[in-house]
Amino acid sequence: MIINKEILVDVTREFINTPSPVAYYEEVMPLLEKKAKEYGYDVWYDRKRTGYITMEGEDASKTVMVGAHLDTLGLIIRSINSDGTLAVRQLGGVSYTSIEGETVHVHTRDGKTHTGLMICTSHSVHVYDDARSLVRDENSMVIKLDAFVNCEQDVIEMGIDHGDIISIDPRFEYTETGFIKARFIDDKAAVGCVFAMLDYFKENNLKPKYTTYLAFPMYEEIGHGGAYIPKEVEEYIALDIGLIGPDYHGAEDKVSICAKDAYSPYDRGLTHRIIEQAKKVEANYCVDVFYRYGTDANAAIRAGNNVYAAAFGMGCLSSHGRERCHVNSLVETTKLLIAYLLDM
């Protein structure tokens, strides 16, 4: 099975470089539509702004779904301080230490973007005794806009308001040794895998076994991306990051199959099948139990959907910070995705 690494990296890069914090779909969905068109597919939506691609299968009696969430961690303006800095609330599990000193982008409701710098209120070791020790959190981190603003009114006059969404610079890098370093490998590398799968099916003139929906939700990072799924879906596979750490077999060149996350074990029958498929395609895989972690497949279960749930994805180091994985973990994830869709 030859997977196109160039497509994996290029699509991952393109999606990572397009901002899409939780709920901010305006820029990323047109990109999804453009990429889907390249493979002859239209994108349709539900009222949670989840985008879907339908792949016709050999057998229309059953519908399965594979999800790769398009939302990322982000921030939202909570208030404008009297000195013109912006106070924020997080969208998803932001690690504030990892975004100190990062460029951020404020997306206003009139479609404009303003840049700023994420700083700590004790921002300089030359000035503050607690610059190194102050805990970085929602109360100690603010945004300094890249503009001469000195009061709330100055900021309001820029068209910035409470509730504006803020994206964080992803700083995508692809090394000569095959590592991807960027924010939001979670979960845009999975989107790369979906497109590498579409490419493989096209090149080899293949169809999935069953009618397949490819889902691209916008609310995974806050836990309800999969709360609604179309009624006809019998199986939901969440493609999402694999964890790396002391308890795990996961690694940056493997696909991790998730047996259980913070909420629930995944369906045993479906997970057995996926493990057997991983063996058949000789994927470099492992099975792990994830700790502080959830996926849209289990969000679907939690919301009461009548569906079998499973999850697998690329091993990702330093998750929710600036992350890293090797392109080979995307290759292994794509191989397993293809094996699942062909029902090998």
Active site residues: 220
Asked if 167 contacts 161 with a C-beta cutoff of 8 angstroms, the reply is no
Residue whose CB is less far from Zn ion, 116 or 225: 225
Q: Cα–Cα distance between 278 and 333 in angstroms, integer?
A: 9
Q: Is 203 exposed, middle or buried (0-12, 13-18, 19+ CB in 10 A)?
A: exposed
Q: How many CB atoms lie within 10 A of CB 49?
A: 19
- Burial label for 307, CB within 10 Å (0-12, 13-18, 19+), is buried
CA-nearest of 212, 213, 229, 214 to 301 is 229
CA distance 109 to 148: 21
Site for Zn ion in 79-108 (CB under 5 A): none
> What would you measure as the largest C-alpha separation in the chain, in angstroms?
68
Per-residue contact flags (x/-) with Zn ion for residues 227 to 246, judged by CB under 5 A: -------------x------
Q: Which amino acid is at 84?
A: G
Size of residue set near Zn ion by CB under 5 A: 3
Give the list of residues 6+ apart from residue 8 with CB closer than 8 angstroms, or none: 189, 192, 193, 195, 196, 327, 330, 331, 334
Q: Within positions 175 to 204, which residues make up the interface with Zn ion, using CB under 5 A?
A: 186-187
Residues 314 and 336 sit within 8 Å (Cβ to Cβ): no
Report how far Cα 278 is from the mean position of its chain's Cα atoms.
23
Instruction: Specify the residue, 107 or 183, whose C-beta has the smaller distance to Zn ion.
Output: 183
Q: Which one, 199 or 240, has the nearer CB to Zn ion?
A: 240
- State how far the Cα of 236 lies from the Cα of 226, in Å rounded to an integer: 9
Of 94, 147, 161, give the one whose Cα is nearest residue 117: 147
* Nearer of residues 210 and 236 to Zn ion, judged by Cβ: 236
C-alpha–C-alpha distance, residues 282 and 43, integer Å: 32
Judged by beta carbon, residue 86 or residue 310, the one nearer Zn ion is 310
Q: Which is nearer to Zn ion, 186 or 199 (CB)?
A: 186
* Contacting residues toward Zn ion, per CB under 5 A: 186-187, 240
